[in-house]
Amino acid sequence: MFKNKILLYLSVFGAFLLVDFTWIIFGANPLYQAEVGEILAESFRIVPAFLAYIGLVAGLFIFAINPSYREGKFFKSIVLGSLFGVFAYAIFALTNLAVIDVWTWKVAITDIVWGGVIGAIVGGIGYKLSVAFLR
């Protein structure tokens, strides 16, 4: 069972990466370049990103996927995943808006909405994968 839980986490982690990287390449990167490009790092820093993804996926398991799986409620995983994503991304976006002069409302709102979208998608995927891996 422990092996299945590790495989489950890694599968959900992979799904999160796939969904988020698609968004970053086609949506976020152009927006960030246009809105706040002067403050972006010259190159992508993988270690902090990797650590953030570990935390985000763990949070989705704790607050959305596991409770929904225990109750057998798929739709709940989508709702709780979306709420977790909104709160997590809002902390980042609104803090940046508070302390970074060039951060814009457009970027902040887009990030918060994206947090809700990716939380819902990965929360639902995590629920379905939990059913497949743990039953």
Please tell me whether the overall predicted TM-score, pTM, comes out greater than 0.85 for this model.
yes
pLDDT tens-digit profile of 6-44? 999 999 999 999 999 999 999 999 999 999 999 999 998
Number of domains in the chain: 1
Terminal-to-terminal C-alpha distance of the chain: 10
H runs (alpha helix) in the chain: 2-23, 29-36, 46-60, 66-71, 74-99, 105-134
- Domain with 34, as residue range(s), is 2-134
Confidence of residue 135 (pLDDT cuts 50, 70, 90): confident
